[in-house]
């Protein structure tokens, strides 16, 4: 297809006029895409005409830019259909023409347009290479040999990037690229290095070569580079460029532009490459046997040279020169992992003349502090800023040094810090080295975890803080007041010999909340969290609590930071119900802060600043904690509801997918603890159902008893997944849990749902193979019997499955492994549910079951009760023997051990107790809610832990006696044991009930 044909030129002019018309009407580029019809988009030659507009130098640049964006979006959406079976709407002739011409045009257009065409080329290569574009690599090689270097490197970079994270067979095309191109690349690199006084355009070419090399070695070293001569040729070139001083001429004066300048970008990429080579392939401790030879060669030949080169670069900043922050950061990362013996001769100079100055407050900090304190705060608490910060890298270096070589370096470093502090103390006010004092305090705070554990430093900490850190709360310099608050935060948990020192530091931190400098206020509120946690006498804080909260919310109005909310959560957690007088005001302020944070997050279309979204989540979390702290004061919930309802209503839509867990937790509190459920709260139920069945199940179980009938109906629709014969057993596990919730929480409220629930359960039980799901389904039957034994039994008779179900149930109760462990119903909870169901039958009239059935039920119940009692006792003993820190881990590991079958093949895919027990662990808070809220639930008078024994006690005495007389000796012994256990349990229950709440 000839791109210059007359028809195409006419079409090009027409499209150009249309686009120019759009621009003149000031309509956004996205709207142009909507206005362009499919008939035009997919017309033969349309893409080629757009491409011609993009490269037409006589065309208005704005029109060309619109065309390039349209072209990029169209390619991204339509070049390769998502469904492989779908036929592409772009004709093959158009694809061929685009592939042919975009390779040339991408290097001819201005940078503004090249970005768009580069994205198009990336889309096409990712879709077509190598299957539908086999000649692409040959084109690159030809252009390199023909000295059309930039275009070849630009395309080769995209090719290599495609396979950067690929491994094994998926990496084969990259290995071909290395084999075919690396010789030519090295030749080009060598020629570029030899250019005298090279312009910045040469830096752009070298940067592309470095990026190609990086992608090629990211996951593994290509076999060609295992050749020592080949690898050495590359290392010589890389180190040559890294060692060269960056040209002075041409460097931008603006700091932001300077770090993006071509030659500094080249040094960044080379440093990146050398770090990767050492940390992934050059460290002898990390290598498998076959690559140790390479690691040994790299360490012996190059590690020292690289370190020398890096130290020389760092010496630039020591003498007042410029080095980009990212380059400093990467060099510090390399040195932190390098061989100590190589570093040791130059360590003192590095540590005291380079590392420590990096830790000190500097001109850039002061400029940002003065001109944009909000940005200063954001950068100071931004995780991503820390990743690239020279100061953070310097701190990491010192921490690694004293961790690995403490005896040689900790005292030496501290002596240096002490000398800094001495000089500061002795200097006249107008000559005090404030910035060095800032760095010294940073070092002291940074080493807090070590100094708090090691003598003699541990016993000297209080004196050091009183003499060196706390006086800076009154410093005339803002950044030192902020640093004092930060250091105090690091050491708030030490044992103060003189509580007056703790009290003075606490009040200084509180006073910092009203400091005129924003960063001081922020560091003070963060420091306050540690003091609240460490405070043993809340009487120190109680009188100033209103002032604290007032200052806290003033600061929340100024900045959006998740850590602020952590401080509030700590205060609420410490004071509990004492927060009741402030609960309404707290919720009002948090709701206002939530909406502000949401506005900020929505305005951040690119997602560059997640602070607003994170702070919004923190606000919801804090509201939940406040609701929990005042859970016994139900009258407060009536006034809180109007404040938080708009948040719940908005976030129970697709807008709130990221905060669904927090929102549903708030809904649980509002429905559990409020005296009544308002019509407003009822209106949330359809929204909860709409946002996702699984999420509602996991997070709204606490609301089940209050929503009653609506929950039962919705849960039945969820449970119908059991009717899907294509679903695996493991995919059905949530359904019986849903049914179980309804039967346990809505007793007496959902009688007409018992039949459909049992029907769908029985149907699934007949098809189920996995023991765990079988157990869950049988437990649905047990829960139905516990809910209403007469109703459930009559429904089983009506369905004609009562004999089938009970035979399967008793058979499962008898199944054991070779080790004697039960195959089914192994958890305490499983046994309890089965006991509840079976003992419910014992209270029925005698004519409800055949006479022989009573004996089977009684025997099974006795065995379960004894097994349950023994398991509870064993768990209690284990808890006494284990440290609290290990409870959760032991609980989970027991699950895994329990569900290991003697025959592994039978259970290799069984999900078993692990996931179910995880549910219980995750719902610990819901159980706590249920316990706290039982005063609101008159229908739930039973104590599940003891209803097993009481059901036997409540059944017909004569029948109980007759059943006992017919038992074999072993079962009589079991019955006696259960009876003996029941007496002290009843006494315990009575004693507990007598204690006023």
**Helix and strand numbers, DSSP H then E, in the chain:** 56, 0
Mean pLDDT over 697-724 rounds to: 54
Asked if residue 694 lies in contact with residue 737, where contact means CB atoms within 8 angstroms, the answer is no
So what's the pLDDT on residue 626? 92
- Residue 862 CA to residue 528 CA, distance in Å, equals 57
Structure token pair of residue 195:
């250019």
Mean pLDDT over 266-276 rounds to: 96
The string of DSSP codes covering 222-266 is -GGGGSHHHHHHHHHHHHHHHHSPPPSTT--SSHHHHTTSHHHHH
In this model, does residue 925 exceed pLDDT 60? Answer: no
Mean pLDDT over 21-35 rounds to: 40
Asked if residue 373 lies in contact with residue 338, where contact means CB atoms within 8 angstroms, the answer is no
Match 């080790």 to its residue by tokens.
819
The b/e string for 749-786 (b: 16+ C-beta within 10 A; e otherwise) is ebeebbbebbebbbbbbeebebbbbbbbbbbbbbbbbb
Highest mean pLDDT among 338-342, 478-482, 532-536, 539-543: 478-482
Is the link from the previous residue into 456 a cis peptide, with omega within 30 of 0?
yes
Does 853 or 631 have the greater pLDDT score?
Answer: 631
Total residue count of the chain as it appears in this document: 997
Structure token pair of residue 191:
């020629």
- Dump pLDDT digits (tens) for 850-867: 767 777 887 888 888 888
Does 723 or 109 have the greater pLDDT score?
Answer: 109
Band of residue 931 on the pLDDT scale cut at 50, 70, 90: very low
Mean pLDDT over 816-838 rounds to: 86
Mean pLDDT over 825-852 rounds to: 83
Judging by beta carbons within 10 Å of its beta carbon (0-12, 13-18, 19+), is residue 49 exposed, middle or buried? Answer: buried
Coil, helix or strand at residue 822: strand
Mean pLDDT over 96-117 rounds to: 91
Mean pLDDT over 84-105 rounds to: 86
Mean pLDDT over 139-165 rounds to: 93
Q: Which residues contact 485 (CB under 8 A, 6 or more apart)?
A: 473, 508, 509, 512, 520, 523, 524, 526, 527
Does 745 or 124 have the greater pLDDT score?
Answer: 124
- Residue 775 CA to residue 808 CA, distance in Å, equals 10
Coil, helix or strand at residue 580: helix
In this model, does residue 950 exceed pLDDT 80? Answer: no
- Dump pLDDT digits (tens) for 585-614: 999 999 998 998 888 877 766 555 666 777
- Residue 506 CA to residue 910 CA, distance in Å, equals 54
Structure token pair of residue 777:
């389904």
Asked if residue 621 lies in contact with residue 662, where contact means CB atoms within 8 angstroms, the answer is yes
Q: Which residues contact 523 (CB under 8 A, 6 or more apart)?
A: 482, 483, 485, 486, 489, 512
Which helix or strand (DSSP H or E) is residue 15 part of? helix 6-24
Does 524 or 997 have the greater pLDDT score?
Answer: 524
Asked if residue 224 lies in contact with residue 179, where contact means CB atoms within 8 angstroms, the answer is yes
- Dump pLDDT digits (tens) for 869-903: 888 878 877 776 654 444 433 333 333 333 333 33
- Residue 266 CA to residue 213 CA, distance in Å, equals 12
Does 706 or 335 have the greater pLDDT score?
Answer: 335
- Mean pLDDT check: name the lowest of 155-169, 684-698, 809-823: 684-698
So what's the pLDDT on residue 30? 38
So what's the pLDDT on residue 86? 76
Does 973 or 252 have the greater pLDDT score?
Answer: 252
So what's the pLDDT on residue 826? 85
Of 578, 566, 483, 497, nearest in space to 532 by CA: 566
- Residue 112 CA to residue 108 CA, distance in Å, equals 11
In this model, does residue 7 exceed pLDDT 80? Answer: no
In this model, does residue 77 exceed pLDDT 80? Answer: yes
Torsion angle, alpha carbons of 977, 983, 986, 991, to 10: -130
Band of residue 709 on the pLDDT scale cut at 50, 70, 90: low
Q: How far is CA 870 from CA 445, 832, 982, in A?
A: 51, 12, 13
DSSP annotation of 43: S
Asked if residue 812 lies in contact with residue 761, where contact means CB atoms within 8 angstroms, the answer is no
So what's the pLDDT on residue 32? 39
Match 């692409």 to its residue by tokens.
136
Structure token pair of residue 361:
């407050």
- Residue 215 CA to residue 539 CA, distance in Å, equals 60
So what's the pLDDT on residue 699? 46
The string of DSSP codes covering 934-971 is GGG-TT----TTTHHHHHHHHS-HHHHHHHHHTS-HHH
Match 């290995």 to its residue by tokens.
175
Asked if residue 121 lies in contact with residue 106, where contact means CB atoms within 8 angstroms, the answer is yes
- The secondary structure of the chain in percent helix, strand, coil, rounded to multiples of 5, reads 80, 0, 20
So what's the pLDDT on residue 691? 65
Compute φ and ψ for 381, nearest 5 degrees: -120, 25
- Residue 763 CA to residue 799 CA, distance in Å, equals 11
- Residue 45 CA to residue 163 CA, distance in Å, equals 32
So what's the pLDDT on residue 780? 92
Query: What's 470-531 look like in SS3?
Result: HHHHHCCCHHHHHHHHHHHHHHCCCCCCCHHHHHHHHHHHHHHCCCCCHHHHHHHHHHHHHH
Q: Which residues contact 305 (CB under 8 A, 6 or more apart)?
A: 239
Does 236 or 42 have the greater pLDDT score?
Answer: 236
So what's the pLDDT on residue 938? 35
- Residue 92 CA to residue 71 CA, distance in Å, equals 17
Decide: pTM greater than 0.75: no
**984 alpha carbon, distance to own chain's centre:** 48
The string of DSSP codes covering 690-743 is HH-HHHHHHH-GGGHHHHTHHHHHHHHHHHGGGG-TTS-GGGGTHHHHHHHHHH
Torsion angle, alpha carbons of 886, 888, 894, 899, to 10: -160
Share of the chain above pLDDT 70, in %: 80
In this model, does residue 493 exceed pLDDT 90? Answer: yes
Does 863 or 218 have the greater pLDDT score?
Answer: 218
Asked if residue 790 lies in contact with residue 749, where contact means CB atoms within 8 angstroms, the answer is no
In this model, does residue 620 exceed pLDDT 70? Answer: yes
Highest mean pLDDT among 55-59, 116-120, 681-685, 904-908: 116-120
Cα maximum dimension of the chain? 110
Q: How far is CA 634 from CA 587, 622, 655, in A?
A: 15, 18, 30
Does 563 or 142 have the greater pLDDT score?
Answer: 142
Of 307, 311, 390, 384, nearest in space to 342 by CA: 307
Mean pLDDT over 279-304 rounds to: 82
Does 167 or 439 have the greater pLDDT score?
Answer: 439
Is the link from the previous residue into 238 a cis peptide, with omega within 30 of 0?
no
- Mean pLDDT check: name the lowest of 383-397, 687-701, 940-954: 940-954
Coil, helix or strand at residue 567: helix
Match 């929505």 to its residue by tokens.
602
So what's the pLDDT on residue 272? 95
Q: How far is CA 771 from CA 400, 665, 779, 810, in A?
A: 51, 32, 12, 14
So what's the pLDDT on residue 265? 96
In this model, does residue 914 exceed pLDDT 70? Answer: no
Q: Which residues contact 912 (CB under 8 A, 6 or more apart)?
A: 772, 895, 898, 899
Asked if residue 286 lies in contact with residue 299, where contact means CB atoms within 8 angstroms, the answer is no
- Dump pLDDT digits (tens) for 272-281: 999 999 988 8
Mean pLDDT over 716-720 rounds to: 57
| Number of neighbours of residue 797 by Cβ within 10 angstroms | 12
Q: What value does the mean pLDDT of the chain take? A: 82
So what's the pLDDT on residue 512? 95
So what's the pLDDT on residue 929? 40
- Residue 467 CA to residue 480 CA, distance in Å, equals 14
First to last CA, the chain: 88
- Measured CA angle at 951 (ends 851, 781), to 5 deg: 70
So what's the pLDDT on residue 957? 59
């Amino acid at each position: 297809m000839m791109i210059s044909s007359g028809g195409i030129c006419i079409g090009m002019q027409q499209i150009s006029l249309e686009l120019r018309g759009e621009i003149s009407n000031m309509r956004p580029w996205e709207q142009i895409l909507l206005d362009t019809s499919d008939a035009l988009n997919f017309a033969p030659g349309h893409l080629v005409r757009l491409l011609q507009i993009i490269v037409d130098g006589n065309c208005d640049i704005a029109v060309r830019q619109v065309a390039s964006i349209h072209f990029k979006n169209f390619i991204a959406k339509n070049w390769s259909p998502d469904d492989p079976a779908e036929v592409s709407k772009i004709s093959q002739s158009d694809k061929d023409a685009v592939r042919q011409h975009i390779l040339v045009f991408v290097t001819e257009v201005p940078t503004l347009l090249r970005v768009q065409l580069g994205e198009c080329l990336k889309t096409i290569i990712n879709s077509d290479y190598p299957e539908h574009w086999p000649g692409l690599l040959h084109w690159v090689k030809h252009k390199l040999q023909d000295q059309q270097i930039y275009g070849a490197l630009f395309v080769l970079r995209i090719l290599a990037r495609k396979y950067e994270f690929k491994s094994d067979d998926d990496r084969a095309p990259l290995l071909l690229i290395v084999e075919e191109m690396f010789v030519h690349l090295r030749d080009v690199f060598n020629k570029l290095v030899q250019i005298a006084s090279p312009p910045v355009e040469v830096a752009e070419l070298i940067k592309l070569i470095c990026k190609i090399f990086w992608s090629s070695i990211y996951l593994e070293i290509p076999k060609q580079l295992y050749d020592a001569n080949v690898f050495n040729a590359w290392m010589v070139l890389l180190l040559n460029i890294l060692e060269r001083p960056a040209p002075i001429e041409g460097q931008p004066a603006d700091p932001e532009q300077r770090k993006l300048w071509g030659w500094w970008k080249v040094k960044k990429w080379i440093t990146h490459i050398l770090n990767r080579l050492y940390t992934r392939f050059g460290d002898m401790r990390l290598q498998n046997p076959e690559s140790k030879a390479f690691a040994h060669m790299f360490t012996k030949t190059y590690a020292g040279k690289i370190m020398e080169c890096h130290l020389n670069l760092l010496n630039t900043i020591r003498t007042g020169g410029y080095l980009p922050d990212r380059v400093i950061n990467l060099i510090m990362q390399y040195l932190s992992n390098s061989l100590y013996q190589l570093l040791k001769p130059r360590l003192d100079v590095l540590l005291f003349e380079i590392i420590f100055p990096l830790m000190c407050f500097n001109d850039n900090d002061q400029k940002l502090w003065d001109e944009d304190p909000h940005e200063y705060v954001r950068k100071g608490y931004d995780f991503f800023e820390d990743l690239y910060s020279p100061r953070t890298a310097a701190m990491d270096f010192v921490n690694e040094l004293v961790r690995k070589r403490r005896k040689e370096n900790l005292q030496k470093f501290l002596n240096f810090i002490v000398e800094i502090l001495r000089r500061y103390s002795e200097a006249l006010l107008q000559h005090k080295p404030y910035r060095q004092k800032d760095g010294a305090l940073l070092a002291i705070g940074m080493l807090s975890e070590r100094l708090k554990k090691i003598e003699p430093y541990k016993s000297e900490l209080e004196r050091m803080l009183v003499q060196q850190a706390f006086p800076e709360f009154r410093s005339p310099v803002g950044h030192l007041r902020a640093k004092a608050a930060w250091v105090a935060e690091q050491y708030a948990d030490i044992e103060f010999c003189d509580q007056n020192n703790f009290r003075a530091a606490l009040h200084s931190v509180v006073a910092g909340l009203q400091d005129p400098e924003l960063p001081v206020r922020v560091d003070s509120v963060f420091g306050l969290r540690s003091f609240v946690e460490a405070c043993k006498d809340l009487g120190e804080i109680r009188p100033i609590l209103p002032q604290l909260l007032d200052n806290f919310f003033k600061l929340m109005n100024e900045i959006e930071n998740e850590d602020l909310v952590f401080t509030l959560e700590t205060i609420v957690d410490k004071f509990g119900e004492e927060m009741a007088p402030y609960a309404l005001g707290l919720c009002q302020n948090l709701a206002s802060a939530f909406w502000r944070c949401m506005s900020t997050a929505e305005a951040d279309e690119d997602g560059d600043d997640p602070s607003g979204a994170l702070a919004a989540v923190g606000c919801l979390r804090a509201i939940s904690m406040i609701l929990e702290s005042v859970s016994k004061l139900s009258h407060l919930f009536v006034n809180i509801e109007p404040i938080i309802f708009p948040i719940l209503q908005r976030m129970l839509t697709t807008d709130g997918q990221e905060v669904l867990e927090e929102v549903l937790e708030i809904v649980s509190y509002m429905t559990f603890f409020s005296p009544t459920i308002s019509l407003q709260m009822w209106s949330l139920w359809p929204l909860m159902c709409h946002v996702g069945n699984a999420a509602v199940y996991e997070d709204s179980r606490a609301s089940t008893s209050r929503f009653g009938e609506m929950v039962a109906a919705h849960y039945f629709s969820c449970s119908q997944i059991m009717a899907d014969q294509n679903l695996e057993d493991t995919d059905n596990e949530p359904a019986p849990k849903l049914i179980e919730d309804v039967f346990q929480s809505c007793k007496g409220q959902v009688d007409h749902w018992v039949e459909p629930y049992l029907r769908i359960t029985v149907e699934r039980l007949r098809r189920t193979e996995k023991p765990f799901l079988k157990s869950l389904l049988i437990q649905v039957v047990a829960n139905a019997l516990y809910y209403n034994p007469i109703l459930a039994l009559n429904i089983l008779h009506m369905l004609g499955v009562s004999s089938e179900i009970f035979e399967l149930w008793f058979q499962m109760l008898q199944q054991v492994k070779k080790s004697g462990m039960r195959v089914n119903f192994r958890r305490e909870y499983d046994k309890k549910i089965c006991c509840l169901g079976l003992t419910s039958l014992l209270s029925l009239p005698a004519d409800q079951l055949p006479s022989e059935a009573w004996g089977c039920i009684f025997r099974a119940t006795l065995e379960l009760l004894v097994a349950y009692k023994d398991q509870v006792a064993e768990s209690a003993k284990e808890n006494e023997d284990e440290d609290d820190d290990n409870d959760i881990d032991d609980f989970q590991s027991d699950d895994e051990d329990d569900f290991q079958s003697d025959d592994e093949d039978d259970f290799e895919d069984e999900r078993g107790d692990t996931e179910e027990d995880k549910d219980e662990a995750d719902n610990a808070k819901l159980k706590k809610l249920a316990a706290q809220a039982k005063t609101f639930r008159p229908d739930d008078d039973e104590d599940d832990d003891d209803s097993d024994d009481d059901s036997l006690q409540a059944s017909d005495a004569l029948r109980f006696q007759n059943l006992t007389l017919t038992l074999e000796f072993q079962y009589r012994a079991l019955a006696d044991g259960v009876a003996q256990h029941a007496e002290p349990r009843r006494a315990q229950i009575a004693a507990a009930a007598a204690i006023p709440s």
